[in-house]
């Protein structure tokens, strides 16, 4: 009997794509967890027209985090529009034991991040993400030591440094995140992009960029504003000026 290896591509990966190029940075990444579900397509098109090219899809299972959020149909639904305009679909798996979820989302994603806290075998997961043709990201919670990234650095394309404890949109940014970003930037090789996710808005977007963030995820600061496009453009200006 041939051995089975969940890190190999296998039959599930028959329709997957080649690994994309890393996104142009710095980039503001609208997080669709705060989009209006009844107007998501319209809001997506407006942000694409405004220049957004990385869209963040938060996936939650109710176990790893105390909330349920977005699934494969969301990623599938936006992929054609986003990728057709040269953009990237960035899937953030806030789920326990995300091995199966990688397989579900990879056909529609360009980037997939998993939490180092969510599985005892992150090497295997990161290898599987790359084998599926996606950029591999490692997410770390606010209380996780930054050194947890070091043994995995050769297998990752970006690190998602959480600015809040994951699970809900609209939380306040944890101030110590700025120091964590700066420390991670010193720790990581230049080729590994640094993402910040959670609590980012007009008051701190520039500071996250100055601390080394390349990909700045924002949810409620964009979609909770009266004019999401204007809010997106304001964040872009603040990051570019940092």
Q: Active-site residue numbers?
A: 58, 197
Local structure of 228: helix, strand or coil: helix
Look at the block and give the residue holding tokens 């405004």.
50
The answer to whether the peptide bond before residue 225 is cis (omega within 30 degrees of 0) is no
Nearest to 75 by CA among 63, 52, 92: 92
Find residue 114's DSSP bridge partners.
93, 138
Local structure of 114: helix, strand or coil: strand
Structure tokens at 12: 């599930």
Nearest to 194 by CA among 174, 171, 213, 220: 213
Helix ranges (H only) for 56-156 are: 72-84, 99-105, 122-131
Rg (CA), the chain: 17
Query: Cβ distance 13 to 131 under 8 Å?
Result: yes
**CA dihedral defined by 106, 63, 184, 196, rounded to 10 degrees?**
70
């Amino acid at each position: 009997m041939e051995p089975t290896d969940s890190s190999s591509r296998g039959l599930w990966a028959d329709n997957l794509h080649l690994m994309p190029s890393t996104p142009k940075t710095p980039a503001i990444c609208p997080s669709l967890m705060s989009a209006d579900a009844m107007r998501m397509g319209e809001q997506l098109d407006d942000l694409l027209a405004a220049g957004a090219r990385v869209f963040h899809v938060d996936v939650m299972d109710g176990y790893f985090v105390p909330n349920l959020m977005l699934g494969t149909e969301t990623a599938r639904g936006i992929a054609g529009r986003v990728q057709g305009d040269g953009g990237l679909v960035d899937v953030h798996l806030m789920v326990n034991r995300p091995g199966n979820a990688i397989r579900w989302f990879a056909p529609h994603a360009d980037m997939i991040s998993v939490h180092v806290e969510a599985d005892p075998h992150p090497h295997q997961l990161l290898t599987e993400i790359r084998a599926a043709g996606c950029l591999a990201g490692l997410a770390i919670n606010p209380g996780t030591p930054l050194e947890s990234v070091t043994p995995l650095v050769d297998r990752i394309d970006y690190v998602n440094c959480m600015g809040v404890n994951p699970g809900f949109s609209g939380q306040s940014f944890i101030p110590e995140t700025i120091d964590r970003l700066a420390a991670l930037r010193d720790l990581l090789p230049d080729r590994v992009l640094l993402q910040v996710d959670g609590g980012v808005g007009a008051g701190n977007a520039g500071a996250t960029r100055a601390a080394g963030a390349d990909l700045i995820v924002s949810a409620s600061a964009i979609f909770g504003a009266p004019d999401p496009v204007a809010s997106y453009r304001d964040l872009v200006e603040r990051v570019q000026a940092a």
